[in-house]
């Protein structure tokens, strides 16, 4: 569907005297536009064909986005057509975050404030597990023409062992975003708001933190800073759980790009991104502290 067709669908825009639109950067599987209607600014998101293979439930996304907007951590939802992958929200000022910016103490503090608000907020629709997502991506990749690394079975087996270890210190399910990379974080210098709630659901807050960490915490010092910003202190068990879930998050991201590449070769750098995340997953699994982390998690946080 074109942006012109979407604009014509929104009831409140049909009698506008002035409508203008321009594409927005940052979308990987979605086309995004800023639409100005009689002095008000909105964002139209149009999903690409085939994105259901990436495990996106558009109805759940809509419901979670509405809940998040009601507590002030997401833009207001104005119009939605889940079956067509169309979502219209109000435009919020601010910039998307680079990895370097995510590591800055003041930005990290604002991001953590947003996370804490929705983690403690009303329950989200549905649930999310990175482990089940990894399994689904692997099934998809093996049925198609996607090129998986030669050690994929070993990587998956070792991540499955991490799941077994983490289950001994299982945390209570909380509302989670589950896709905290810089393009989904909008910072205006006062607060961070989140967009693209495509993978939101009830889940593990440590996976939210881990997803943020693989993009914004390039060292143990920064990982500890993230935990300190969230919890006020750093325990051995919390550090272990977060580092283990960073490994899981790297494999989830790598396989996301593998499946995305099989949907469309028009998304630039997907293969490169996949290889980078596979490499980071291997590095995490090769860390000499891994056995200690696995032992720490049995006591939870």
Mean pLDDT of the chain: 92
Q: Which residues pair with 176 in a beta bridge?
A: 201
User: What tens digit of pLDDT does each residue of 167-212 get?
Assistant: 876 678 999 999 999 999 999 999 999 999 999 999 999 999 999 9
Domain CATH for 37 = 3.30.200.20
Query: Of 73, 90, 107, which closes a domain?
Result: 90
Query: How many domains, the chain?
Result: 2
**Do 56 and 154 reside in the same domain of the chain?**
no
Domain containing 122 equals: 95-299
Model pLDDT, residue 267: 60
**Do 70 and 182 reside in the same domain of the chain?**
no
Is 138 in contact with 156 (CB distance < 8 Å)?
yes
Is 175 in contact with 296 (CB distance < 8 Å)?
no
CA dihedral sign, ordered 13, 40, 195, 230 = negative
**Do 128 and 225 reside in the same domain of the chain?**
yes
The pLDDT > 70 percentage for the chain reads 95
In degrees and rounded to multiples of 5, residue 299 shows phi and psi of -95, 5
Rounded Cα distance, 154 and 151, in Å: 5
User: What tens digit of pLDDT does each residue of 113-149 get?
Assistant: 999 999 999 999 999 999 999 999 999 999 876 789 9
User: What tens digit of pLDDT does each residue of 21-78 get?
Assistant: 999 876 677 889 999 999 999 999 998 877 788 999 899 999 999 999 999 999 999 9
**Do 162 and 130 reside in the same domain of the chain?**
yes
Six token digits for residue 75 = 């833009």
Query: Of 43, 59, 90, which closes a domain?
Result: 90
Query: Of 26, 55, 90, which closes a domain?
Result: 90
Model pLDDT, residue 301: 44
Rounded Cα distance, 211 and 196, in Å: 14
């Amino acid at each position: 569907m074109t942006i012109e067709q979407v604009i014509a669908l929104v009831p409140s825009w049909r009698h506008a005297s002035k409508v203008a639109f321009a594409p927005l950067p940052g979308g990987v599987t979605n086309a995004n536009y800023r639409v100005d209607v009689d002095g008000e600014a909105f964002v139209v998101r149009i999903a690409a064909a085939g994105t259901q293979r990436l495990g996106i439930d558009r109805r759940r996304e809509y419901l979670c986005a509405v809940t998040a907007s009601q507590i002030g951590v997401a833009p207001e939802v104005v119009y939605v057509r889940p079956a067509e992958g169309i979502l219209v929200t109000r435009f919020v000022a601010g910039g998307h975050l680079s990895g370097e910016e995510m590591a800055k103490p003041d930005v990290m503090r604002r991001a953590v404030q947003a996370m804490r608000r929705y983690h403690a907020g009303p329950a989200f629709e549905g649930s999310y597990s990175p482990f089940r997502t990894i399994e689904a991506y692997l099934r998809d990749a093996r049925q198609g023409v996607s090129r998986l690394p030669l050690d994929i079975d070993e990587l998956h087996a070792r991540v499955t062992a991490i799941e077994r270890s983490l289950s001994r210190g299982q945390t209570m399910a909380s509302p989670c975003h589950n896709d905290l990379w810089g393009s989904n974080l909008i910072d205006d210098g006062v607060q961070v708001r989140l967009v693209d709630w495509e993978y939101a659901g009830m889940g593990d807050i440590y996976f939210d933190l881990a997803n943020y960490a693989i993009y914004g915490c390039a060292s143990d010092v920064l990982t500890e800073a993230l935990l300190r910003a969230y919890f006020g202190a750093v325990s051995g068990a919390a550090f272990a759980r977060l580092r283990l879930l960073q490994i899981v998050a790297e494999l989830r991201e790598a396989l996301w790009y593998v499946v995305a590449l099989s949907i469309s070769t028009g998304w630039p750098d997907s293969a490169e991104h996949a290889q980078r995340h596979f490499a980071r997953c291997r590095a995490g699994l090769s860390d000499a502290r891994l056995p200690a982390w696995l032992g720490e998690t049995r006591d939870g946080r």
